């Protein structure tokens, strides 16, 4: 266990904290915890690269911590009526579909290597930015009106495109290696 992995585990531990804060309407604290979680992500990645502390465990834990944080926040915000439920459904469904595809390929002894795509990086950025804006607007009483809906639509579109890109790669992989 190294420092980057410990920071990733800390990010996992922040997930129930931020969910609780949102559920209690403690928006400023929820926003602060979300920012801290984001900082741990940036710092663990920097340390891992800069000091060559990348590990196989970290390669699995880091994206799982990111997904746990984002999915939990999206579901909690949607249940609380802060964001549109369709967006939370898209975000959760994308991750479930990708995880399911990877698991099926492993079960069929035809593992697929998942590498981040440009559209996936754009999607992750949009999801993080949207969550930060939704939390921040509540924390600081900023009325965004249609601006929040525009951001939701952009995030939703990127989520759909990213899902399609990954599933397309998976289908091609499975068809090319079908015995």
| Span 163-179, pLDDT tens digits | 999 999 999 999 998 75
| Confidence (pLDDT) at 113 | 85
Mean pLDDT of 140-160: 96
Q: Is 14 left (phi over 0), alpha (psi -120 to 50) or beta?
A: alpha
Give the separation between CA 132 and CA 178, rounded to whole angstroms. Answer: 42
| Confidence (pLDDT) at 130 | 98
Q: Are the CB atoms for 134 and 148 separated by under 8 Å?
A: yes
Share of the chain above pLDDT 70, in %: 99
Q: Within its chain, how far is the Cα of 112 from the centroid?
A: 20
Taking each helix axis from N to C terminus, what angle separates 118-139 and 56-79, rounded to the nearest 10 degrees? Answer: 50
Q: Are the CB atoms for 22 and 80 separated by under 8 Å?
A: yes
Give the separation between CA 81 and CA 7, rounded to whole angstroms. Answer: 31
Instruction: Note the pLDDT tens digit of each residue in 31-89.
Output: 999 999 999 999 999 999 999 999 999 988 998 999 999 999 999 999 999 999 999 99
Instruction: Note the pLDDT tens digit of each residue in 24-37.
Output: 999 999 999 999 99
| Confidence (pLDDT) at 179 | 52
3-class DSSP state of 54: coil
């Amino acid at each position: 266990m190294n420092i980057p992995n410990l920071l990733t585990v800390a990010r996992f531990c922040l997930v129930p904290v931020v969910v609780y804060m949102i559920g209690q309407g403690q928006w400023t604290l929820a926003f602060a915890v979300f920012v801290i979680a984001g900082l741990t992500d940036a710092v663990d990645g920097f340390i891992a690269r800069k000091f060559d502390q990348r590990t196989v465990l970290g390669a699995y834990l880091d994206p799982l911590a990111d997904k746990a944080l984002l999915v939990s926040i999206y579901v909690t915000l949607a249940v609380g009526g802060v964001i549109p439920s369709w967006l939370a459904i898209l975000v959760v469904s994308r991750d479930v579909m990708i995880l399911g595809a990877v698991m099926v390929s492993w079960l069929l002894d035809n593992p697929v290597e998942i590498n981040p795509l440009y559209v996936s990086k754009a999607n992750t950025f949009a999801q993080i930015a949207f969550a930060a804006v939704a939390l921040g607007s509540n924390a600081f009483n900023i009325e965004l009106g249609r601006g929040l809906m525009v951001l939701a639509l952009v995030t939703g579109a990127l989520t759909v495109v990213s899902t399609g890109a990954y599933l397309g790669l998976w289908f091609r992989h499975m068809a090319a290696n079908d015995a």
